[in-house]
Chains A and B, each alone.
Chain A
Amino acid sequence: MEAKRILLVMKNKPGVLNKISGLFQKRGINIENITAGEGYPEETVRMTITGFWDDYTLNQVIVQAEKLFDVEFIKSFSKESVLRELVLVKVQVDSKSRQELLQILDIYRGSVVDVGLESLIIEITGDIGKIDGFLKLVKNFNILEIARTGVSAMTRGLGV
């Protein structure tokens, strides 16, 4: 099944995230990842929720969430939307692997955000394909930690 993504704008109140996660929990629907942060205007929270759902489930998520009192806006993203994820990877390196890693990073236009004697933290942002491709390559190194933010999305053009 393909990944589906929804945009959800809620009033920024304590407990709203709980109400959303409860909605999924009650129906046994899995969330692949969820990103949330202050929206615009500021009194809202904007979330992008990703899951591998069939069309029926996607529709249920949308109409059920829409009923929640604090939900102000909800829609599903089309495939053409802009999708971005940020990933931090901490890698153990020696002088040889450090060079190789920096070359790969250059091709993927990532950056180094922390340099240690035996480690690097690198950062990469991009769409899913780019991130997957990059992670596949760095898996050959000695990875210590990976932190992914989950996908954040926005519709192209003037519309929301």
Chain B
Amino acid sequence: MKEITGAKIVLETLKYLGVKDIFGYPGGAVIPIYDALYDFEGLQHYMARHEQGAVHSADGYARTKKVPGVCLATSGPGATNLVTGIMTAHMDSIPLLVITGQVSTSFLGKDSFQESDIIGITSPITKNNYLVRDIFQLPDILKEAYILSKHGRPGPVLVDIPKNIQEQKIDYDKFKNLLEKDIKKINKFKSLYEENEILEFQKLFNSSKKPVLVVGGGVLNGDCVKEVREFVERTKIPVVSTLMGLGIFNKDDEKYFGMIGMHGLVEANRAVDECDLLICVGMRFDDRIVGDKSKFSPNSKKIHIEIDRAEINKNILVDLPIVGDAKDILKQTLELDLKDDFETWSESFKREDVTDEKDLNQISTLNMLNEILDERYIVVTDVGQHQMFTAQHLDIKKPFQFCTSGGAGTMGYGLPAAIGAKVANPDKKVIAILGDGGFQMNQQELILLAQYNLPVKVLIFNNGALGMVKQWQELFNNKRYSSVILDINPDFVKLANAHYVEGEKIENIHNLKRLKDILEDDNPYLVDIQMSYEHNVYPIIPAGKSFEHTIGGE
């Protein structure tokens, strides 16, 4: 009789689901799965150097390939090292299937070696999680978890598998039947809107004089970029984006006025502030966008198109919620008779031209990148000033071309996520824009560039400081620069060399031209770009304040 182990079931089920790549790190409680991987065909495993690297890579993979990212770690410390990455994906609604090993069922709950209650730990930051107690449920659970991760509003799902279940064997034919059996239909996140709400939409729209459309990450998740673009073309209303929605529109779109929020562009925030109708699609009124609740878009009626009913009225009370699949809803609105005489209103916003920079700094570097980057590129950032500079100044051309940790703001995200993005998109050119602080949080992942020959370009915006925190201390804490100056940093080029990656320093603005050659080349490369820590990101609206408190700049 042919038999199959639990470990092999995991791999066969992943393959059956269409998974091609997984990111992981081995350990005692997943040895059986790694053993099964040793000569398994059809799954490529990428060995991170820290579990946090593995989960961020899976996240970058998911964000840029539009399929769930998969990662694997051992029990206890392996599993807890995933927590930051799971939370990062949860905050931005990114589909992940996270598989952890667990101590054998007979050791559960006894503070056994490398035991952690990862189910308890990750409950608040996963859509669901499972402790597998019965090998016959393993295929179903994995299938359900995978599908659940991308269902409705996507997010991470964790499956914890005790070692004895990985080792247990069952009859192969029985497994085959389980594998091919359909799982029960998942029925969360239903469309709940009714026709009269679409009519109400029309009424509000046609009676408005100053409408604005806000697009969020839900537009990307909900696969309705085409529909929102059509909506704007038809109605000619101004459109702005959240951080997670960057790439849906770009600089060439006449009606697009950029990112809103704390570091949003003044014109974009002004549009939200002055409008009389705010149509929000796939966004959740994060406090970094809303600021002072009582003063957020004070004169507008608000329409909220959203798949997750729990987001309705959570942060901001809206006048018309429309709960359901944004693509369906937008299609219906496109069939309505809608006004399109908003030309004068749109024209009242003129976009700021980017000033000519004489210095080597974040903006001049991004200006140079704008000359180089086209649709072949994917840009991943870490978290801090460089991230906000990039969000403001980089002309992102296409959806899914930009990848950043928004809701969680996770430092250390950029490098591993870029690795995931490159694995997911071998034909794209991936560049990672990192701060000198955040790079040091997961710099060990550099070795993957050499090991797997991943030609990722790592650009360090090296300002010798934890810039974003320094900026806050400067503006709001009397320049008391407590623990933010990185007066000693590693030699990043040497560090790259030690990881078999070539690199160089750029120390003045004239050498920025070098980036053209560097980015065209097909090898991994690190560029340490020297900047002064004097440069702050403007505009900034202080936390909890409103548009009228915008601080414009130096």
Which residues of A approach B to under 8 Å, CB–CB? 14-15, 18-19, 22-23, 26, 56, 59-60, 63-64, 66-70
Contacts and interface: CB of A to CB of B under 8 A. Distances in A.
A68 B119 contact: no
B1 interface: no
Instruction: Output the residue of A18, A22, A26, A63 with the most chain B CB within 10 A.
Output: A63
A26 B127 CA distance: 14
Contacts of B120: 15, 18, 22
A63 B312 contact: yes
Contacts of B354: none
Contacts of A63: 309-310, 312
B131 A67 contact: no
Interface of B: 119-120, 123-124, 127-128, 131, 133, 148, 186, 188-189, 308-310, 312-314
Nearest to B148: A69
A69 B127 contact: yes
Contacts of A60: 310, 314
Nearest to B124: A26
A19 B120 CA distance: 8
Given A14-B131, A15-B119, A15-B131, A66 B124 contact: no
Contacts of B188: 66-67, 69
A108 to B, nearest CB: 42
Contacts of A18: 119-120, 123
Contacts of A68: 128
A66 B131 contact: no
A18 B129 CA distance: 12
6 contacts: A22-B120, A26-B124, A59-B313, A63-B312, A67-B127, A67-B308
B131 A69 contact: no
Given A14-B131, A69-B148, A69-B188, A22 B310 contact: no
Given A18-B120, A60-B314, A69 B309 contact: no
A56 B127 CA distance: 23
Contacts of B123: 18-19, 22
A18 B120 CA distance: 8
A73 to B, nearest CB: 12
Given A22-B120, A26-B124, A67-B189, 16 more contacts: A14-B131, A15-B119, A15-B120, A18-B119, A18-B120, A19-B123, A22-B123, A22-B124, A60-B314, A63-B309, A63-B310, A63-B312, A66-B188, A66-B310, A69-B127, A70-B128
Contacts of B128: 68-70
A12 B502 CA distance: 56
Contacts of B189: 67
A138 B311 CA distance: 47
Nearest to B312: A63
Instruction: Output the residue of B123, B127, B308, B309 with the most chain A CB within 10 A.
Output: B123
Nearest to A25: B124
The 3 A-B residue pairs whose C-beta atoms are closest, nearest first, are A69-B128, A63-B310, A22-B123
A116 to B, nearest CB: 38
A66 B309 contact: yes
Contacts of B312: 63
Contacts of B148: 69
Contacts of A23: 124
A23 B123 CA distance: 9
Contact of B310 (A14, A19, A26, A67): A67
Contacts of B124: 22-23, 26
A7 B347 CA distance: 52
A14 B128 CA distance: 13
Contacts of A22: 120, 123-124
A78 to B, nearest CB: 21
B310 A64 contact: yes
A6 to B, nearest CB: 15
Instruction: Output the residue of A15, A23, A56, A60 with the most chain B CB within 10 A.
Output: A15
A32 B138 CA distance: 37
A25 to B, nearest CB: 8
A19 B127 CA distance: 11
Contacts of A15: 119-120, 131
A22 B123 CA distance: 7
Contacts of B309: 63, 66
B512 to A, nearest CB: 46
A60 B372 CA distance: 47
